[in-house]
Amino acid sequence: MARSSEQSPAKPAAPKLVTPTPTLEICGLGRVPIDTSDPSAVARFLASRTDKAGRRWLSALLNSADVRARAAGLFLESKLMGMHANEQGSDPVQPLEDQSRDTLVQLAIGANDPAVYAMAVYACNADTQTVLSGSCQQISLDQWASLDADNAVPWLLAVRQARARKDAMTEAAAFARAANAHKTDGYNFSLYAFAEPELPSDATPLDRAYLAVELIGIESAVGSLQYRSASLHCSDAAMQDDGVRQQCAAVAELFVSKGTNLLDLGFGAHLGGRAGWSKARVASLMDERDALMQVIAQVGPGNSDDHWTCDDVSRGNAYMNQWARWDELGAARDALEWSGETVAELAQKQRDFIDKMRRDAQRGQEAAGQPELAP
């Protein structure tokens, strides 16, 4: 009788390793599965969750009795909706639809309000172009300056256009008007303040925080050509003339003392240094600028993709409430006062953060075999 062959028992299959889906804590929603390795995943998710609130906000703006709120709605319409429609979650430079632009132009002509007129200037690109078409032919920098004669910004934009035409006399006259102004406001950083009162009363804290982030992105994307204009006019060669140098110092002082945002503060300090301000004063202003940047990073809304907990959202909304009440600089200075840290401490943190970003970028380029970053 033949021996039956013995079979060795089969080895159990190795268990499959299941990689857990990354999750992110989001206010009001708990831990949400999001592929955090995808740089646009968080923005896409938040855009989809806040879409209904954003559309109701726009509807309220477009039907508002307040002319600045209605103008903000027209200016934001295609841009804000473009952000939600774009699969990357953000596209702040969407152009206005013709109908929205034409309606904004007519509103600006009839309102006699410099902020509304400034929005029409940006919508028509009248700050960059001298030859306009369609309804935009009714919009001009000269009219903005006429409505807002004590504001340096339209005069500085006029300086840029005169320089492009090589019209030295008009350039000098416009810069002199800017140097004698008592305010500097491009109004693009006021869009949130104009629009915030029309936010739906039932908007969730997350809605408010994310929509504020979107609107800040739009504000930042609006051209701020006044800085480039002033910088070119105040060249080192031009400031060999004492009169020009004094005017440039006056414009720098205006940006520093009456500015509404961090760009104003930083540029004013830079221009003042070129116009002869002491190194100590310039350094002090740059310390303040860096400290304010750091405190905004700590309390501002959506300062990073993993900062959407209810505590983060609450801090961000409180900061934006102050922004709407004052402006970016006012809100940042208020946050600085409540931070419990000194300007020097926060400025150093900001510089350490920038240095770390540069080192990380350098290592990334080295790993990819790319050329080194310029110092």
Q: Residue 307: its pLDDT value, please?
A: 84
Q: Residue 233: its pLDDT value, please?
A: 98
Q: Which residues of 71-91 are buried (b: 16+ CB within 10 A; e: fewer)?
A: bbbbbbbbbbbbbbebeebbb
Mean pLDDT of 20-37: 88
The residue whose two tokens read 């900061």 is 319
Least confident interval from 19-28, 222-231, 284-293: 19-28
8's enclosing H/E stretch is none
DSSP assignment of 177-237 equals: HHHT-SB---SGGGHHHHHGGGS-TT--HHHHHHHHHHHHHHHHHS--THHHHHHHHT-TT
Mean pLDDT of 85-107: 73
Mean pLDDT of 302-331: 91
Mean pLDDT of 348-358: 94
Q: Residue 14: its pLDDT value, please?
A: 60
Helix, coil or strand: residue 342 = coil
Look at residues 148, 215, 214 and name the one whose alpha carbon lies nearest to residue 186: 148
Is the pLDDT assigned to residue 348 strictly greater than 60? yes
Is the pLDDT assigned to residue 91 strictly greater than 70? no
Please state, in angstroms and rounded to a whole number, the distance separating the CA atoms of residues 206 and 308.
8
Q: Residue 87: its pLDDT value, please?
A: 44
List all residues 6 or more positions away from 7 whose beta carbon is below 8 Å from its beta carbon. Answer: none
Please state, in angstroms and rounded to a whole number, the distance separating the CA atoms of residues 218 and 223.
10
Is the pLDDT assigned to residue 371 strictly greater than 70? no
> Residue 322 is which amino acid?
Q
Please state, in angstroms and rounded to a whole number, the distance separating the CA atoms of residues 89 and 196.
21
DSSP assignment of 77-94 equals: HHHHHHHHHSTTS--TTP
> pLDDT of 136-186, one tens digit each?
999 999 999 999 999 999 999 999 999 999 999 999 999 999 999 999 999
C-alpha distance from residue 201 to each of 14, 27, 53, 60, 198 (Å): 55, 18, 10, 11, 8
Is the pLDDT assigned to residue 90 strictly greater than 50? no
36: tokens are 């955090």
Least confident interval from 27-36, 65-74, 339-348: 27-36
Please state, in angstroms and rounded to a whole number, the distance separating the CA atoms of residues 34 and 46.
11
Please state, in angstroms and rounded to a whole number, the distance separating the CA atoms of residues 308 and 176.
47
In this predicted model, which residue has the larger pLDDT, 76 or 369? Answer: 76
Please state, in angstroms and rounded to a whole number, the distance separating the CA atoms of residues 192 and 295.
20
